[in-house]
Amino acid sequence: MRNFSIVFSTVFKEAVKTKPYLYITIGLVALSVLLFASPAILTMFNKNSPDETYKIVNHTSLELSEQELASAGGSWQIVDGVKIESLKEEVKAEALTGFFVLEEQTDMMQLNIYMPKVNNELLLTLESYIEQKKVASIVAVQSIDPAVVQALNAPLQSSVEPLYETKPNALLIVYGLITIMFLAISIYGNNVATAIASEKSSRVMEVMITKVAPVPMMYGKILGVGLASLTQVFIFIGALLLWANIGIFDIPEGSFVQTIMETITWETAACILIFFIIGYFIYATLFAIVGSMVSRPDDLGSATMPIMILLMASLAVEMLFVMDAPEGRMTTITSYIPFTAPMTVLVRIVYNTITPVETVISLLLMVLFIALFAAVAAKIYPKGVLKSDSLTFKQLMQSNR
């Protein structure tokens, strides 16, 4: 146990003292600040942005009002007798945001739009305003009862209701969590494999193997790198909790940041952390075995490709099947497959579609799978690290018979 703790502490200290680790940690803290400050930043940019100016050429009998048009956004000017080419030049010179030409044709009206980038929200409001003016003109000419017209034009009220017990934009939170898990497993798993391959190629492993048993050495490296990664996660989450509780940032009602604060409770954060650790161990053990099989770090790219394909396949399953149907059959199945379970359970936790019993069963299956990997690694890893040349998995298995 003492030798294991020495390997563990040495690997952890080496990991946290590197410049990339320091830069990433600072970047995560900066990201947490940016996340909470983003609503205020967006508001500031919107306030400082120049006023949008529009012109509309009215070639119809409709009586348009510049004040009423302003309700669509920006400042408006109704012009007539102006050449289209001159208005185009104003738009190109950024003196004008855009202009419109309203023409009256047989039984219909034509609205021509001249804008560098179409503002769909503005366009819908403008079209609705013109339709109202057209109806009002017809009502006045035909002497139709305004009450009847009002009843016919009463808008249909609609709202999007969530299918699950969570916020509609919680989907962005799920994407963020899965992306973080994918990147963390791939980056830190590769770090484990690189550390083992580097020591093996430099012949340091032959010296270390006389002092420390291979399996404790392997898990000392896995835990050392894993704790370093968890330290960054804790710093990031701690920064988020700090900004959320000290109240220095103004969080608008209904914003994405408020959704994060309401969705990620202490219980949810604990579950996310547990499955993050389990997912890391599943893949890190595979990376450690592969690292012991190659003779030099340059060969890791091709050697770890099957693991990366497996990891990317798990991510693809989440994106294609689990995200769209958190209560579907495929989601239930992938909750019990060790390679996909960490990500799938995260999705189901955020969407509140998993029971405590299912969570415990999934967790036990992953722990049993890690134990199985540990038994396999105990036979394969010692043979791999003592060989100076690269080995295949088949050769390692044959050497243990």
Instruction: Kindly report, residue by residue over 305-328, the tens digit of the pLDDT.
Output: 888 999 999 989 988 888 878 888
pLDDT at 396: 54
DSSP state of 73: S
Task: Select the highest-mean-pLDDT range: 143-157, 243-257, 297-311.
Answer: 297-311
pLDDT at 306: 87
Write the single-letter amino acid at 254: G
Q: Is a pLDDT exceeding 50 seen at residue 53?
A: yes
312 in the same domain as 254: yes
Q: What residues have CB less than 8 Å from 256, skipping those under 6 apart?
A: 38, 169, 172
Q: How far apart are CA 356 and CA 204, in angstroms?
A: 46
Q: Is a pLDDT exceeding 50 seen at residue 55?
A: yes
In a domain, 158, yes or no: no
- Residue 282 pLDDT grade (very low, low, confident, very high; cuts 50, 70, 90): confident
141 in the same domain as 29: no
Q: Look at the chain and report how many structural domains it folds into.
A: 2
In a domain, 33, yes or no: yes
238 in the same domain as 197: yes
74 in the same domain as 34: no
Q: How far apart are CA 285 and CA 81, in angstroms?
A: 76
235 in the same domain as 190: yes
Q: Is a pLDDT exceeding 60 seen at residue 393?
A: no
Domain edge (last residue) among 150, 175, 203: 150
- Residue 203 pLDDT grade (very low, low, confident, very high; cuts 50, 70, 90): low
359 in the same domain as 211: yes
Q: Is a pLDDT exceeding 50 seen at residue 48?
A: no
Determine the structural domain holding residue 141 and report its residue range: 51-150
- Residue 347 pLDDT grade (very low, low, confident, very high; cuts 50, 70, 90): confident
pLDDT at 261: 67
Instruction: Kindly report, residue by residue over 160-184, the tens digit of the pLDDT.
Output: 665 655 555 667 777 877 888 888 8
Torsion of CA 27, 169, 166, 31, to 10 degrees: 10
298 in the same domain as 330: yes
How much is the average pLDDT of 203-217?
64
Sign of CA dihedral 173, 177, 183, 184: positive
Q: Which two tokens stand for residue 319?
A: 């994106």
Provide the CATH number for the domain around residue 107: 3.40.190
Quick count: other Cβ atoms within 10 Å of Cβ 350? 24
208 in the same domain as 185: yes
Q: What percent of the chain has pLDDT over 90?
A: 7
Q: What percent of the chain has pLDDT over 70?
A: 77
Question: In whole numbers, what is the pLDDT of the chain averaged over residues?
Answer: 78
> For 51-55, 113-117, 243-247, 304-308, which range has the lowest pLDDT when averaged over its residues?
243-247
345 in the same domain as 299: yes
127 in the same domain as 15: no
Instruction: Kindly report, residue by residue over 352-386, the tens digit of the pLDDT.
Output: 888 889 989 999 999 898 888 777 777 776 666 65
106 in the same domain as 63: yes
pLDDT at 188: 81
- Cα atoms in the Cβ-side hemisphere of radius 13 Å centred on 35: 23
pLDDT at 162: 59
pLDDT at 334: 92
Instruction: Kindly report, residue by residue over 114-132, the tens digit of the pLDDT.
Output: 988 888 888 888 888 888 8
How much is the average pLDDT of 201-226?
70
380 in the same domain as 248: yes
How much is the average pLDDT of 231-256?
73
Identify any residues that bridge with 55 across adjacent strands, giving them in sequence order. 77, 99
In a domain, 28, yes or no: yes
